[in-house]
Structure 1
Amino acid sequence: MIEIPAGVTLIGTDKGGFSVDLEGPAVELAIPRFFISATAVTNEEFQRFVATTGYQTDSEKFGWSFVFHAFLTETQQRRSQKMTGTNWWYAVAGASWCCPEGPGSTIEDRLTHPVVHVSRNDAVAYCQWAGMRLPTEIEWEKAARGGLVGKLYPWGDELVIDGKHQCNIWQGAFPAHNTMEDGYLGTAPVETYEPNGFGLYQTAGNVWEWCANPRYLPFKEQLGAVWQAHQTYSTAAYGIRGGSFLCHASYCNRYRVAARNGNTADSASNNMGFRCVQNENEEN
């Protein structure tokens, strides 16, 4: 766990972004000290949780989850339901955290990758088992910024530095062709790329990360509140941050550190994960 010191932090942005996502206005907030995991929860860690508890994820209960088209064969696509409006997503029978592309796929060569196909319900269950919780958006953003103020990304304002990619996002023409200039079509191991100033890895791209609070809750209203309820099959939407390996400036420019999004608590896909936090008095 990484210590994030108490102090006043500028959260949100007054420049760029999506107005519909309520990224601004930027506001200075006094945020107490807390501890956050350096990486997203890995397949190996989630596998240990399931082996210990016998937990069954929402995707496993439903019998399907969303998978991006590039990871599916033509046969799988024909057998799966294409999503209206975002026809690059398919509802794939048997897709889950341990079978990310459906039956026959495995995580055995991806144990250090972030676990995916986890709903907010699943993330809360893991956190409770581990004696932790999900971060609020303001905690997530403070940690993701790594001590920098008002920058686009956790490392600064330039997406690529000296020809070197700093995160795992989409390159090429979305959604048809990914040139994989950053080295990855899907998820990358959780300690790929350089950590930010606090020591957190990959708070931009790779996988969306669940937050505790309801979607787009004003930043000031997140102070001092913790949303721990495990609301199985809830239709309420909750915050997700950081973007994923599918984000591209032409469509989902939400790998910026101030970017906000949300999803229902029982939703899952092959680009959604999470990390955990502890309060100061919960430190192990």
Structure 2
Amino acid sequence: MVTATRANDPASRDKANGERGMANRKTANANSNSSAAARPSRVTARSSRLLLWGLLLVTCPALIGFAANWAIGTHSRAASSKVAQGDGVHGPQGMAWVPGGEFLMGSDAKMAQANERPAHKVRVHGFWMDEHHVTNAEFRKFVEATGYVTTAEKKPDWETIKVQAPPGTPRAPDSVLVPGAMVFVGTDGPVSLEDFSRWWRYVPGADWRHPAGPQSSIAGKDDHPVVQVSYEDAEAYAKWAGKRLPTEAEWEFAARGGLTQATYAWGDKFAPDGKQMANVWQGQQARPFPVMSAKAGGAVGTSRVGSFPANAYGLSDMTGNAWQWVADWYRADQFRREASTTSVIDNPAGPSDAWDPADPGVPVAAPKRVTRGGSFLCNEDYCLSYRPSARRGTDPYNSMSHLGFRLVMDKDTWEHSNERRQAASADAQPRS
């Protein structure tokens, strides 16, 4: 997750212990596309046991293996001001200003899952946000400048991984703990949607440069979201860039783009006037999830950032394309806890620990960070996470082929950095 070192970049919980606990990047929150958050767990006790052992086979044969024509609908925009985009002088380059304000977070709509309920009043302060996901090209600059090695490129640490496994799980031998990541492989035909191990695999050699495995490449995809990055990878990049991951509240406020309780980030109709509004399975793939189209050569994946209309704040792909890490620890009951107070919650930073009773075979208190936005795999039959209120918890050490991130910057941070830049520029000027 976010802050941590190999013990887990993730952020606080207990930076050392908790971070270490953020493990099993492979254990798999392979709920990956379908999130425990996006759909109540469909994995039966039997399939859960099979999955656990299947993952152990992948882990112990490799590791504990393991989501304008702008339709506003009937909702009003809370903000109709002109989009403010940073230009490097009046704001950070490549970021858009999100004005902040009070809004209803979560949802009580029919399709909302238990972890999205109830809708409750929250206030966030204004901030700058990346206009799109961090791209492959941007991440490459970071790696070239720092020599950073991502989680997926390192040999897994059993102490980090085991916190995501049931107590008593036997230790995997070092020989099978090999670098790699979770990859969506799809199926040849329709299958039961109760066992996600059928379409997800832990693939040795998969990483951000090779998102689908060692034979794959990101050549020609510089402007696609970087994926196969863990929470700790996102945190490391954020520190280098002088930014931070958004809180869950900031993310949802930004994703809504000023719309009040709209079903989607663009309104209430999935495809207004027949127009596709996001890179999700529904409307993009000819065959039902998770069947890979032979005609398309199995080519499902991310799309170029900005391929779909930006919202009222100038933010592209807030839902769809790739899931996004956010800073908060994940608790399935967090919204109920926040709604227990009658006052508006000001700038919430999330809970101090993780709790998820809906993930079969994983300890309820296993470290998880919130991921938001859904991905190119989300669909109406299995995963409806391309909604602003949809949320799920993900092992901070999990790297997956549909999971990336974008960052934010506080107003004060920008102003201070800009002042330093201007001072440095003035000092560099020749004196007469």
What TM-score does the superposition give when structure 1 sets the normalisation length?
A: 0.86
Q: Specify the SS of the correspondent of 1:267.
A: coil
Residue 109 of structure 1 corresponds to 220
Q: State the secondary structure of the residue aligned to 2:198.
A: coil
- Equivalence for 1:42: 135
The aligned residue for residue 78 of structure 1 is: none
Aligned match for 2:229, one of 101, 112, 118: 118
Q: 1:222 to 1:47 in 2, by over 3 A?
A: farther
**Equivalent in the alignment of 1:29:** 122
Does residue 177 of structure 2 align to residue 66 of structure 1? no
Measured in 1, the distance between the counterparts of 2:375 and 2:295 equals 14
Aligned to 1:79: none
User: Does structure 2 conserve the Cα–Cα contact (< 8 Å) formed by 1:17 and 1:259?
Assistant: no
SS of equivalent residue, structure 1 residue 154:
coil
Cα distance change of structure 1 residues 93 and 31 upon mapping to structure 2, 3 Å threshold: same
Pairwise CA distance, 1:103: 1.6
> In the alignment, does 2:353 pair up with 1:238?
no
- How far does residue 222 in structure 1 lie from its aligned partner after superposition? 8.2
* Cα deviation 1:214-235 (Å, max 9, x = unaligned): 01373547835389xxxxxxx5
Deviations 1:78-105 (A, max 9, x none): xxxxxx6431001111100011122232
Change in 2 beyond 3 A, CA 1:123/1:24: same
Deviations 1:189-210 (CA, angstroms, capped at 9, x unpaired): 1111100111100111100000
Corresponding residue for 1:3? 97
Q: Helix, strand or coil: the match of 2:371?
A: strand
CA distance in 2, matches of 1:16, 1:115: 33
Q: CA separation of 1:137/1:224 partners in 2, compared to 1, >3 Å: closer, same or farther?
A: closer
Deviations 1:159-181 (A, max 9, x none): 11222110011133111145999
CA–CA separation in structure 2 for the residues paired with 1:143 and 1:42: 19
Matches within 5 A, 1:1-284: 1-20=95-114, 22-62=115-155, 63-70=179-186, 85-171=196-282, 172-177=287-292, 185-216=300-331, 218=334, 220=338, 223-225=347-349, 236-283=367-414, 284=418
Match of 1:231 in 2: none
**Residues 207, 272 of structure 1: 8 Å contact kept:** yes
Gaps of 5+ in 2: 1-94, 156-178, 189-194, 339-344, 352-365, 419-432
Letter in 1 for 2:334: P
SS of aligned partner of 1:86: helix
Looking at structure 1, the residues matched to 142 and 181 of structure 2 have their Cα atoms a distance apart, in angstroms, of 20
More strand by percentage:
1
Q: How many correspondences in the alignment?
A: 264
* Identity over aligned pairs, percent: 41
Kept in 2, the 8 Å contact 1:170–1:180? The answer is no
Structure with max Cα Rg: 2
In structure 2, distance between residues paired with 1:277 and 1:52: 21
Q: Deviations over 1:217-255 (max 9, x none)?
A: 73547835389xxxxxxx510000000000011101111
Task: Classify 1:24/1:226 alpha carbon distance in 2 versus 1 (closer, same or farther; 3 Å).
Answer: closer
Shift of 1:146: 0.7
Unaligned runs of 5+ in 1: 74-83, 228-234
**1:77: which partner in 2?**
none
Q: Which amino acid aligns with 2:244?
A: R
Provide the rounded CA distance (Å) in 1 between the counterparts of 2:145 and 2:403.
Answer: 23
- 1:102 maps to a residue whose letter is G
SS at match of 1:121: helix
Q: CA deviation at 1:125?
A: 0.5
Structure 2-normalised TM-score? 0.58
Partner of 2:31: none
